[in-house]
Amino acid sequence: MKAKNQRLVLALIALVALVGAALLAMSALKDRASYFYSPSDALRDHVALGQAVRLGGVVEKGSLRRETDGVTIDFRVTDGIATVAARYTGIVPDLFREGSGVVAEGRFTAPGQFVADTILAKHDENYKPPELAGNGMHQSASLKK
């Protein structure tokens, strides 16, 4: 076999191995993928009840309510178009509050009713730690002398 043909065969073998690895990775992720739905997407697409999904949006103002046990909360997630009622039992992140972004991992128990297993709070791109917000610490103006 000529050297040119050997390189072509090696290139084809490498290409087949690469495609095979990509297919195996996609197959493995298929069972593990957790989809991200906005409330309007979830209601429009009729997500199967009991299917593990991620629900993302903003905690609607005036909707956050704590149960008497102190760890169970009810709130509504909205994307400005649709709203989904959610329930979570556990400790919430510090950034979780009304009007803030949230991603809740869990499942729908009924259309429009979501039970979260995990709450992830989101902050906007303009986030500043409280220590740096508004008190002048670590700002360039205070460092100039």
Q: Is 123 annotated as a binding residue?
A: yes
127 carries a ligand binding annotation: yes
Q: What is the 3 state secondary structure string of the chain?
A: CCHHHHHHHHHHHHHHHHHHHHHHHHHHHHHHCCCEECHHHHHHHCCCCCCEEEEEEEECCCCCEECCCCCEEEEEEECCCCEEEEEEECCCCCCCCCCCEEEEEEEEEECCEEEEEEEEEECCCCCCCCCCCCCCCCCHHHHCC
Q: Which residues are annotated as a binding site?
A: 123, 127
Q: Which residues are annotated as a binding site for heme?
A: 123, 127
